[in-house]
Amino acid sequence: MKRVSLVCCAFAGVLSAAVVQVDLSAVFDRDTVLAPGEPLVGTSGDFDGLDSNLGVGYALVAEGWDGHQYNPAANGPPEDGVIADYQLGPLDGLNAINISTDNIGTPIDIPVPAGRYGQVRFLVSAGDGDCNIPITFHYATGRPVDALLMADDWFDDFPSQGAGGTLRPQLATVANGWDRFWFPSTFEDSNDPGLFAHTMELDPTRDLQSIELRPGDPGTWFERPNQASPTAMNIFAINLDKARNTVPEAVVTSDPSDPDELVVGVGLLEVTLTCTATDADHGPMPLSYSWALTSAPEGAVVVFVPALPVTEPEVVVLLDIVGTYVFTCRVSDGADTVEARITLTTRCPNLPPEISLTLSATAVPPRGQVTADASATVDPDDGPSPIAFSWEYVTGPLIRVDLSDYFNADGVFEPGGNCAESGIDQGGMEFLVEGFDGVNEDQPHVQGLPADGLIGPYQLGPYDGLNIIQLHNASPEVVIELDTPLEGTKLVYLVTNGNGDSDIFVEIGYADGSVSDGIIYSDDWFDDAADGTLRVEHLTPVINGLDRATSACTLEDSNDPAIFRGAIELEGAPVKSITLRPTDALSRFDSAVTRFNLFGFWLESGGVAIEAAHAARTKITFGAERGEYLFRLTVDDGDLCTGPQTKEFTITVEGGTAELFKRGDVNVDGKLDIADAVALLGHLFSGKPMPLCPDAADANDDGKLDIADSIRILAHLFASSGPLPPPFAACGEDPSSDPLPPCVYPPCGG
């Protein structure tokens, strides 16, 4: 809605900025309100058209003054003359337009503050009957509009309020139940006289200039024109309600507009933006424009011609890189502002390769094989270079390392546990299990760890015992020996810290005897995304905003503690041991009271072999670990603008039938003898085929076939070196994963 100040009003009072009171001071001709202190006779006019100077007629009594000493609490118009949002004329002077048979035929032209208005409201009443007066609204442009102003007898109030009961439906009561004074000296505590509003709609699209009253023209009607006290209309105030502004409409178009023409990369792209706007009510001011860049690709430099600020409906923009740009045009009519946006998506001159990928299978048994074929991939514009392919193993199933023998602190307060035993930082603080705070049973919605211990894909240790490895700056090393070597590409860990951050030196031992070093990073449990100092180059939160309990069993609804994820790259061979050395020179603690807390280790599965990583067609061989494996194919035509195109795909290693065999039986004849050692040597040095069951030929279970396996068989047969690794005495499944091909072993039904 337009905001317009009150225009030129001769009276005091507070009006809404959307209401304009017409100044009637030049056309008032009757005083119908008896002001406080005013003489009872001789100077006042009256309400009902009878000249009070003749000693007869009625006047309204100003509130708190009735002119009669026995009625000090008379009910009349307020002394400041403000009724609702109408301001009466001064109570000590002429304050109403009085129209009766005395002035029929005399038009009254009332100027109004020029402007556009939605409606006009006349505050009126009549004495001794009802009446109608023709009026005309004069506009700055176009034809005038005629209407009929109505007033009702001041006793014609609503039926529910008592007297009269004949108020016409075009009128609404504004004030009612007032007292009156009858000249020359009689006070009437009648509680009946009222003032009414007649509201008429105006043309909000044109400027109103004046209102003309035309008594005597056709349509003039007085209910009792000829009696001793004839009907008279009294107009006390005229209010104009500002027209509600029509909000402009706008749309932005571009040249070029065809997406195929929005090409960057060779040079700057020039685009002309045009903001087309309409304003149905043409105001209150001419339309104004402003432009802004709302969003652009990272690294883009957008140039406006002319430079911002631009106040014209058209602007030229220069775009430099590929991506999505959003521009906003703001249009204002002086009262309301509307925004119109346009989105431009630019592309490179090069057309990227269109990847076509087929898989021979999406699910395979353990140690199965899949052929991935992207040879049908095409490059629509053949360039700028021949297509290059790259196959990548991204991630596989998580294998949890069993740490139950190494847990030395309980950092999780489980339902029914003792919250005073030990905690996440020196036994002082503990995480809470979700929905149970152990302290305040009236707080069932505590935000804690999930009751099943599963955080995303990570399964924590049991809540009914020690379930974290806690270290400080003087802790001895922890050597974690894996019962069975585990194969993976990454060693993933979940950690948090109490009272500061820490780094723990780790040494990883592999089944082939090799060793690699690394650092496990941890962060204070308050250093989450909200608290701002998380070491994001190493860690990401996996769960955040938890509550905690203190060693005094006090619940802290802190909504800060978090558990973080980190990872260490592995070197390929199965992992046999993990050694944590908190006192190593590469380990670090923020302070002597800092506590490192490890919830668990997981290996992202390995055992995957990609035969031809840079060919259009390749074979992928899996290990024994079941689950989903994610791969990524990258296709590149050498264009730096479009960049490489990628496509990810998933292959599932399913349960299937277990591969059963006996260790050492290379020739799969069901028994172990010297012929098995000879058969393996024939494969290794004489070009004989791969054994039907490579796992059976892997006599030392190190995941590869070499002369050491023949030596191990001979040592068992002739040097009493003991049994071979399982499965040995009976048919069984390989307990370790390795990259060897699938096993065919008929003696065990395979």
Q: Which amino acid is at 712?
A: R
Total domains present in the chain = 5
Residues 581 and 685 in one domain: no
Residues sharing a CB contact under 8 Å with residue 636, sequence separation 6 or more, in sequence order: 353, 385, 387, 388, 390, 643, 644, 645
Distance in angstroms (rounded) separating the CA atoms of residues 275 and 5: 31
Rounded to whole angstroms, how far apart are CA atoms 12 and 89? 9
Residues 548 and 530 in one domain: yes
Task: Give the type of residue at 175.
Answer: A
Tell me which amino acid residue 500 is. G
- For 360, other C-beta atoms within 10 Å of its C-beta total 13
Do 392 and 411 belong to one domain? no
Q: What is the pLDDT of residue 429?
A: 73
Amino acid 51 reads D
* Domain membership flag for residue 674: yes
Query: Domain for residue 195, yes or no?
Result: yes
Question: 504 with 630, same domain?
Answer: no
Query: Is residue 517 situated within a structural domain?
Result: yes
Could you check whether the bond before residue 353 is cis, i.e. omega within 30 degrees of 0? Answer: no
Q: What is the mean pLDDT of each run of 10 residues along the chain (750 residues)?
A: 28 54 90 70 59 61 56 70 87 82 86 93 91 96 96 73 68 84 68 87 92 95 83 93 89 93 86 95 88 94 95 95 95 93 92 95 90 96 92 87 86 65 62 60 65 81 79 95 84 91 95 93 79 77 81 70 90 90 96 92 85 96 84 93 92 77 92 93 89 93 92 91 87 80 80
Residue of 574, 520, 653 whose CA lies nearest to 401: 574
What pLDDT does 313 receive? Answer: 96
Listed in order, strand segments (DSSP E) in 229-320 are 232-242, 249-255, 269-278, 288-295, 303-305, 314-319
Query: Do both 298 and 233 map to the same domain?
Result: no
pLDDT given at position 543? 86
Provide the edge-to-edge strand list for the sheet that holds 186-188: 33-34, 58-61, 180-182, 186-188
pLDDT score for 70: 43
Same structural domain, 645 and 735: no
Residue that is last in its domain, among 226, 242, 258: 242
Residue finishing a domain among 204, 222, 242: 242
57, 186: one domain: yes
Asked if 692 and 624 sit in the same domain, the reply is no
Q: Kindly write down the DSSP assignment for every residue of 473-488, as one continuous string.
A: TTPPPEEEEEEEEE-E
Whole-number Å distance between alpha carbons of 394 and 649 = 10
Query: 134 in a domain, yes or no?
Result: yes
Residue 352 belongs to some domain of the structure:
no
Do residues 660 and 749 touch, judged by C-beta distance below 8 A?
Answer: yes
412 and 295 fall within a common domain: no
CA–CA dist 364, 374 (Å, integer) = 20
User: Which alpha helices (H) appear in 424-505, and where do they start and end?
Assistant: none
* pLDDT of amino acid 68: 47
Question: What is the C-alpha separation between 589 and 499, in angstroms, rounded?
Answer: 10
Is 135 strand, coil or helix? strand
Answer yes or no: do 67 and 213 share one domain: yes
Q: What is the pLDDT of residue 225?
A: 85
Residues 207 and 126 in one domain: yes
Q: Which domain holds residue 195?
A: 19-242
The continuous run of DSSP H or E covering 286 comes out as none
Q: Are 607 and 738 in contact (CB under 8 A)?
A: yes
- Please indicate, yes or no, if residue 483 is contained in any of the structural domains: no
CB atoms within 10 A of CB 99: 29
User: Does 489 fall in a domain?
Assistant: no
Q: Write down which residue in 224, 242, 260 finishes a domain.
A: 242
- Count the neighbouring beta carbons within 10 Å of the beta carbon of residue 580: 22
pLDDT at 432: 72
Q: Is 710 helix (H, G, I), strand (E, B) or coil?
A: helix
- Examine residue 491 and state whether it is found in any structural domain, yes or no: no
CA 730 to chain centre: 62
pLDDT at 2: 24
CATH of residue 313's domain is 2.60.40.10
Q: What is the pTM of this model?
A: 0.47
Q: What is the dihedral of CA 49, 55, 57, 58, to 10 degrees?
A: 130
Between CA 20 and CA 7 the distance in angstroms is 6
Q: SS3 of 683, please?
A: helix
One domain for residues 65 and 190: yes
